[in-house]
Structure 1
Amino acid sequence: MDIHLHVLLHGLWGSTKHLEPAVCVFSARHCQPNSDSELVIESQNQVQLLLIEANQDSRTYDGIDWGAERAVEEIQEAIRKISSEGDRVTKFSITGYSLGGLYARYVLAIIYAKHFFDTVQPMNFTTFATPHIGIPDVKHSLFSYLSRYVGSRMLGNTGKQLYCFDRWGKTGRPLLEVMADKDLVFWKALNSFQNIDIYVNAVHDRMVPYVSGAFELLDPFEAHIDDIQVEFHSHYFPMLKSWTLSDDRENKISSSCSEHFETWKPLPFMGPFIQWNFPFNLILMALFPIIIPVVIVLLPITLALNTRSSGFRVKSLERASMSAQEKLAQIFATLDHTMMDMLEQPTPNNTSTSTTPDTTSTVAEVKTTPISRKQPPTAITSNLSAAQQRMVVDLNQLPVRKHLTWIHPTRNSHAIIICREKDQFPGHALGEGVLKHWADHFTT
């Protein structure tokens, strides 16, 4: 039997449990559960899901490269099992949520360089809320500064890579910049896919800013959230079909002082007191005065210990074998000597990259459905580094379809886009329309 293998990867601090809602929606559309395996779900139309387990919890600190190496080992083991049962993998798709999308891009480079796609057809590449160009300093605020400082130091190798503070091997460049370079195998592997779909939160994603999730130079939404009128897809709420600025925006009369301060009210806190089911919300409320001090003390300690254990784990991996970069470099060397030379050469300082924002590229679905909109007269500049601007330019040369969600108001839309914990937080169910769109447009 010919098998279409579909791999799913979770995000930072994540586990396969975070992908269960996505699996349920996808399985209802394409699959029948297979009681013989928790990882692989067999389907009437030969689609099998493989949920990568090797990078759960603190293992996500080890770096994008090592996480991808572990994922490839699981994929190879799944393929061996399929072959032992007399079947063969003829099609391949991969989906990543958050950090999982970066794992997915690195995985593709490894298997592409090993000539995996000589006999297997690359079909669907999908990411949800993935920081494709890292975590840029969007707002230049104290919180942003502290996040960058702590994140780059207390999330192991992954933190350095997400904030582009790393230098990958002999390249002298951040790993994410290398992964976006259109002349290298990461980009070429991704470009080989029949469908490349990127699902992005247009607003309120506190983990992955719009400019990184959509790899754009400007954010046209942040400064105009209350002035934008949106139209949703009729069957896929909360996915954007179109958006425009309110016609009366420029005619607004200056508000009174009280009205002005009214706009400063914080977004509703849809936290555990409101979203958790009875009686757990009341229990948590009673314990709240105790929990907060404990969290304040334990959180930095936990981060530090996880980072320390990750460092030991990576050193152990490197002692047991060559580094992930060296492994990939060895594969590249046998694949294409010219490509390897380019990988090992640092980007020249005089690299010419236009920094002029291309606001016309900000659409809800690029190269799919035209979107009706009035471009805001001003958009938030994202203070992207030169490396991140180069990433944006190269990634937008891929035949990518960008799908935007509008989850407003909320404090953080990052988990909602995949209904990550909807059993615990019923509000996360708002993202079901996004998952249905993904499942309905998946090419088998």
Structure 2
Amino acid sequence: MDEYSGGTPEADHLCVLVHGLWGNPNHMKNVAKALRDQFPPNKLRILVAKRNSGSFTYDGIELGGERVCLEIEEELALIRSKGGNIKKISIAGYSLGGLVARYAIGLLHARGVLDDLECKNFTAFASPFLGVRAPLRGWSDRIWNSLGARTLCMSGRQLFGIDEFRDTGKPLVAVLADPKSIFMAGLARFQRRTLYTNIVNDRSAVHYTTGITKTDPYVDMLKIKTNPLPGYDGVILDPKNPVSPAAPRDPEPLMQSVEKWAKRVPIIATIVVFVPVALLAFFTNAVIQTVRSSQRVKLHESGMAGIKIEGYRVNLWIKEMREAVEDTYENINNSQNQQYLGLSEDDDDNSSEDRHLLSLERKQSHPHFPTLALAPYQFSAIQALDKLGWRKYPVWIHNARHSHAAIIVRMDKKGFEEGWVVLRHWARDEFLT
């Protein structure tokens, strides 16, 4: 990692890379390499955030964002002490790191750090901007989303949207997208906002949340026609016209269906034998990590974790208006089939404002791609975030069943090579200097 990070005093542009849940700085190694291949150390300085490594990512988006904010301020001070002068800043987050980065951006904005910097690029790779709540209805919504939220400590509660952030009465994911918040004001300062979203095989963060969209046309790839972006080997789709409905197909021959199911038998057998054992280990680890995370959060809140929190607990609002074990988890999450808004729903648990919003969303459903059964706060977040303007790139990783890791080449592994197409596209064609 050291060969790609850092820079010389002549560099006037700082790019900060933020890893995701269960992650560590080495996960961003190839992201840093893609940048360094394009920009020498005297042009671009690279900082890979380190304070949220490993189980520290369980501690929540707020605490993680404060750590990253402090790390950026320390880096800027270090550069100044060595005679450097950073004039431009870019930030890229992967997975949960995209949300942590957005929190840090809000703090940097509120603390005046961005006032002396030209904000160039904010980039997110497979980041769940709308959380990871599965689009479900009724009892399955309550059971699955409540259970999943309690396996990842504070970060899980925030990702599944069952938290109430401070005194806002809202989930933190909703606060991050509130138009009046410091987080949206900070994000709006960046000249370019880019996201890369996996369309298939992302078992951690599915397309609707990483693509900031209320539809998912990629649920059945046989029913669509994808439109690749020329020159990118079919890995990146045309952002202006990524997909269209496919022509009707003849029914699949019976023998082909039988052959497909036969190939799945070994996988099913493996799941039946090993998943119960893995689940026990996963939930045991979740309990242990919850205890440890709670202890870290208490130290942080008491000011005994190396951060003077009073400097980072700034007013969240711009206008002074306050409104009242990885694979196991991914396999569980991936087992939930997305559901859609029907003609009518049981909205007794929603406010009249939320019922009105859901009614409008049903009426505006796409004729070919129906609206997902998202929560009202997720629809509001989509509307607010889209107003900022995004360059959205759908990514189709063909050769890896774990596209969430492959999109940034999280490790040098066979099958992850297509992720280099994404990283090179970003560094060469998207990254503003």
User: For 1:63-82, what aligned pairs fall within 5 Å after superposition?
Assistant: 63-82=60-79
Once residues 69 and 221 of structure 1 are traced to their aligned partners in structure 2, the CA distance between those partners, rounded to angstroms, is 36
Match in the other structure for 1:394? 384
Partner amino acid for 2:431? F
Partner amino acid for 1:52? A
Maintained 8 Å contact 2:362/2:371: no
Once residues 431 and 19 of structure 1 are traced to their aligned partners in structure 2, the CA distance between those partners, rounded to angstroms, is 12
Once residues 330 and 244 of structure 1 are traced to their aligned partners in structure 2, the CA distance between those partners, rounded to angstroms, is 43
Once residues 424 and 265 of structure 2 are traced to their aligned partners in structure 1, the CA distance between those partners, rounded to angstroms, is 27
Once residues 421 and 143 of structure 1 are traced to their aligned partners in structure 2, the CA distance between those partners, rounded to angstroms, is 35
Match in the other structure for 1:4? 13
User: For 1:122-201, what aligned pairs fall within 5 Å after superposition?
Assistant: 122-138=119-135, 148-201=145-198
Once residues 385 and 198 of structure 1 are traced to their aligned partners in structure 2, the CA distance between those partners, rounded to angstroms, is 22
Partner amino acid for 1:340? E
Alignment partner of 2:205: what SS? Answer: coil
Match in the other structure for 1:341? 321
Maintained 8 Å contact 2:15/2:47: yes
1:114-172 alpha-carbon deviations (Å, 9 max, x no partner): 11122111110000000001013236699987763443112111000000000001110
Match in the other structure for 2:339? none
1:366-415 alpha-carbon deviations (Å, 9 max, x no partner): xxxxxxxxxxx532542100111111111110121101111236433111
Alignment partner of 1:228: what SS? Answer: strand
- Percentage of matched positions with identical amino acids: 29
Maintained 8 Å contact 1:136/1:212: no
Once residues 114 and 146 of structure 2 are traced to their aligned partners in structure 1, the CA distance between those partners, rounded to angstroms, is 40
Match in the other structure for 1:363? none
Maintained 8 Å contact 1:91/1:122: yes
Match in the other structure for 1:350? 353
Q: What is the CA distance between 1:202 and its match in structure 2?
A: 1.7
Tell me the TM-score normalised to structure 1 length.
0.78
Maintained 8 Å contact 1:267/1:410: no
Task: Give the unaligned 5+ runs of structure 2.
Answer: 1-9, 325-349
Match in the other structure for 1:428? 416
Pairs aligned (count): 389
Once residues 152 and 184 of structure 1 are traced to their aligned partners in structure 2, the CA distance between those partners, rounded to angstroms, is 25
Q: What is the CA distance between 1:295 and its match in structure 2?
A: 4.2
Alignment partner of 1:95: what SS? Answer: strand
Q: Which residue among 3, 19, 29 is the counterpart of 2:38?
A: 29
Once residues 8 and 98 of structure 1 are traced to their aligned partners in structure 2, the CA distance between those partners, rounded to angstroms, is 11
Tell me the TM-score normalised to structure 2 length.
0.80
Once residues 8 and 308 of structure 1 are traced to their aligned partners in structure 2, the CA distance between those partners, rounded to angstroms, is 28
Maintained 8 Å contact 1:239/1:404: yes
Change over 3 Å in CA distance of 1:146–1:101 after alignment to 2: same
Change over 3 Å in CA distance of 1:27–1:265 after alignment to 2: farther
1:300-334 alpha-carbon deviations (Å, 9 max, x no partner): 22222111100111122112279x9x85885328x
Alignment partner of 1:204: what SS? Answer: coil
Once residues 180 and 66 of structure 1 are traced to their aligned partners in structure 2, the CA distance between those partners, rounded to angstroms, is 18
Q: Which residue among 393, 408, 413 is the counterpart of 2:403?
A: 413
Maintained 8 Å contact 1:217/1:389: yes
Q: Which residue among 306, 311, 324 is the counterpart of 2:294?
A: 311
Once residues 233 and 269 of structure 1 are traced to their aligned partners in structure 2, the CA distance between those partners, rounded to angstroms, is 38
User: For 1:3-402, what aligned pairs fall within 5 Å after superposition?
Assistant: 3-31=12-40, 43-45=41-43, 47-138=44-135, 148-225=145-222, 227-235=224-232, 237-241=234-238, 243-245=242-244, 249-250=247-248, 252-262=249-259, 295-320=278-303, 327=310, 331-332=314-315, 336=318, 339-342=319-322, 344-345=323-324, 350=353, 353=357, 354-356=360-362, 377-402=367-392
1:61-110 alpha-carbon deviations (Å, 9 max, x no partner): 00000001111111111111101011122111100000000011000100
Match in the other structure for 1:443? 432
Change over 3 Å in CA distance of 1:328–1:65 after alignment to 2: farther
Give me the CA root mean square deviation. 3.4
Maintained 8 Å contact 1:164/1:174: yes
Task: Give the unaligned 5+ runs of structure 1.
Answer: 32-42, 271-284, 361-376
Q: Comparing both chains, which one has the higher relative contact order based on Cα–Cα distances under 8 Å and sequence gaps of 6 or more?
A: 1
